[in-house]
Structure 1
Amino acid sequence: MAGAEAQPLRAAVREAERVLADAGVASPRADAELLAAHVLGVPRTRLPLVTEIDPVAADELRRLVRRRAERVPLQHLTGWAAMGGICVAVGPGVFVPRPETELLFAWGLAELQGVRRPVVVDLCTGSGVLGLAVANARPDAEVHAVERDPAALAWARRNANIRAAAGDSRIRLHAGDVADPDLLADLAGMVDLLLCNPPYVPEGTAVPPEVAEHDPEHAVFAGDGGLAVIRDVVDRAARLLRPGGAVGIEHDDGHGEAVPALLASHGAFTEVTDHADLAGRPRFATAHLRRTQTPHSAG
């Protein structure tokens, strides 16, 4: 662009924030800064050290801001999502990981303290982010990740291959359905930790455009008031966990009583607890498999 001059980055970010706020984006300042960092190729934390943005970069930022204002997910524009110290590729056809799942991940890591060479299962893995984050944090772990949707499994395989090519810990991917009672049958009674971020939004619930128009519907919504898949996850956990093994299941903020009740009523679990997210909303339930199984819980 002949004659064009660089402009202050602060002004460009402020304008991007205004556009995103007018479009109803939930976090306009954060998204404006993350898009600017993406365009400039610097971490967000380094933005205060950048004073100007050149015309070409400014045009690209405005283009991405327009798409974000159309409620295209931020992660689709940057091409990645972060969790537990790693980034994974995401885009159309796979559920975008949410920051709330970091809490489930952190809980899971704490459960593995003192466990040597743990066996970990990540059900409904989607992009593979939970399983890959565990493998990154615990290179000694044997991590199995399960996904039924071929499109999502392709994203998980891509991410697993990227991590493996970089010399990071590997995970074992499985095409499978949590409703299958024989899922991972060879691991029955051997799993130290089972994590799951399943579809759990009750069907018919209004969701933001980023979710309604871009996340795969089957990765978001579930029947039975959002509990259909979770019921199967509870059954799989009872079969796969070793005595004393732990399960953590993310759930809808309206499930703070229902999911712990499912775990408690199963009969195989003890120490059932529900956990809130950073906003104080019920977010995931945890439990341990009883060390001594009763005839009811063993069946």
Structure 2
Amino acid sequence: MPSHEHPRESADRTRLAPVLAAATSELTAAGVASPRVDAELLAAHVLDVPRGRLLITDTIRAAELARFRSLVAGRARRVPLQHLLGTAAFRHLELAVGDGVFVPRPETELLAGWGIERTAPGATVVDLCSGSGAIALAVADETEAARVVAVERSEAALRWLRRNAADFPSVRVEHGDVTDPDLLAELRGGVDVLLCNPPYVPDGTPVPPEVSDHDPAEAVFGGGDGLEIIRPVIALAAKLLRPGGWLGIEHDDVHGAAVPALLDADGRFTEVTAHDDLTGRPRYATARLG
């Protein structure tokens, strides 16, 4: 034992490697999709170190071990990893998330990136169905937009959105319903980029326990065909965008043809384009107001 290490400290410690192995086995048995990664992220969270430092971390203290095992048990019950950590990573941001707000997904970073590329300095950007604020705050963080308006209907989600937006002076949080044709009437014809990740999963579609038990249903399901919110969003976007303004809407992977068809059928949009995610699944559609 090194001379600087207190004897009680050694007695208080357990080797980390078998602890991680046991947690990985527990999460595997529970059906968690990425058991080793989740176990390591929870351990790094408890130890307050970057995940990469686990490679050179040999032991874990008793109090940390108890907390870690509690978090692993929660993950085994399919509580979302992000709820256990208290944050969700999105592009360059760490967003506060928890009960009542949809956990942002990595695939939505693609839509946000598309919108960021089209946001010129001084632009006005609107993020509908904002949830935690992921898209709106990424735009505010990575562009020189003059104004970013984040719209959310759910009171529970608004609490998370306001908390996340507090450090972004260019972001205005708006309590509103995207099916209201008069929403943001003062911006009509003046929006440069409008982005939306709406509820779009068709009703009755099987979803993992993390979604069914923890994501708000109103943020997940979009009616019988999954398009109940997307239809009014397209109509609203046509009112809010300036001529030449850009629209991007995320959708379910069964909507690869349906959403571009809705944009074409509206008659006011040009450059309608379908986009896949990194796994090759249809994920979002974009267009320009003619």
Same fold (TM over 0.5): yes
Offset, 1:11: 2.4
Residue type at the aligned position of 1:133? A
Cα pair 2:153 2:177 within 8 Å, conserved:
yes
Offset, 1:54: 1.7
Change (3 A) 1:4 1:59: farther
- CA distance in 1: counterparts of 2:36 and 2:146, whole angstroms: 38
Query: Does 1:20 pair with 2:33?
Result: no
Deviates more, 1:9-18 or 1:189-198: 9-18
Query: Does 1:271 pair with 2:276?
Result: no
Candidates 68, 80, 83, aligned match of 1:73: 80
Query: Does 1:119 pair with 2:124?
Result: yes
Offset, 1:159: 1.5
- CA distance in 1: counterparts of 2:112 and 2:51, whole angstroms: 23
- CA distance in 2: counterparts of 1:278 and 1:13, whole angstroms: 29
What's the TM-score once normalised by structure 1's chain length?
A: 0.91
Offset, 1:169: 4.1
Cα pair 1:139 1:169 within 8 Å, conserved:
no
SS in 2 for 1:58: helix
Candidates 100, 103, 106, aligned match of 1:99: 106
Query: Does 1:51 pair with 2:58?
Result: yes
Candidates 136, 143, 146, aligned match of 1:138: 143
Residue type at the aligned position of 2:255? H
SS in 1 for 2:156: helix
Cα pair 2:272 2:286 within 8 Å, conserved:
yes
Cα pair 1:92 1:214 within 8 Å, conserved:
yes
Cα pair 2:146 2:170 within 8 Å, conserved:
no
Query: Does 1:153 pair with 2:167?
Result: no
* Residue 248 of structure 1: aligned partner: 248
Query: Does 1:109 pair with 2:116?
Result: yes
SS in 1 for 2:262: helix
* Residue 217 of structure 1: aligned partner: 217
Cα pair 2:139 2:145 within 8 Å, conserved:
no
Change (3 A) 1:45 1:154: same
Cα pair 2:101 2:216 within 8 Å, conserved:
yes
* Residue 234 of structure 1: aligned partner: 234
SS in 2 for 1:265: helix
Pairs aligned (count): 283
* Residue 177 of structure 1: aligned partner: 177
- CA distance in 2: counterparts of 1:82 and 1:55, whole angstroms: 29
Could you give the per-residue CA deviations for residues 244-273 of structure 1, whole angstroms, max 9, x where no partner exists?
A: 111111111111010111111111111111
- CA distance in 2: counterparts of 1:221 and 1:141, whole angstroms: 32
SS in 1 for 2:206: coil
* Residue 88 of structure 1: aligned partner: 95
5+ long unaligned stretches in structure 1: 291-299
- CA distance in 2: counterparts of 1:83 and 1:210, whole angstroms: 18
* Residue 262 of structure 2: aligned partner: 262
- CA distance in 2: counterparts of 1:148 and 1:94, whole angstroms: 11
Matches within 5 A, 1:276-291: 276-290=276-290
Query: Does 1:194 pair with 2:194?
Result: yes
Residue type at the aligned position of 1:217? A
Q: Percent identity at matched positions? A: 59
Offset, 1:3: 7.8
- CA distance in 2: counterparts of 1:43 and 1:193, whole angstroms: 36
- CA distance in 2: counterparts of 1:225 and 1:91, whole angstroms: 28
Could you give the per-residue CA deviations for residues 33-61 of structure 1, whole angstroms, max 9, x where no partner exists?
A: 11111111122233223222222212211
Cα pair 1:160 1:170 within 8 Å, conserved:
no
Candidates 3, 6, 13, aligned match of 2:13: 6
* Residue 293 of structure 1: aligned partner: none
- CA distance in 2: counterparts of 1:227 and 1:249, whole angstroms: 11
5+ long unaligned stretches in structure 2: 1-7
- CA distance in 2: counterparts of 1:11 and 1:107, whole angstroms: 43
Offset, 1:280: 1.1
- CA distance in 2: counterparts of 1:289 and 1:44, whole angstroms: 44
What's the TM-score once normalised by structure 2's chain length?
A: 0.93
Change (3 A) 1:46 1:268: farther
Offset, 1:2: 9.4
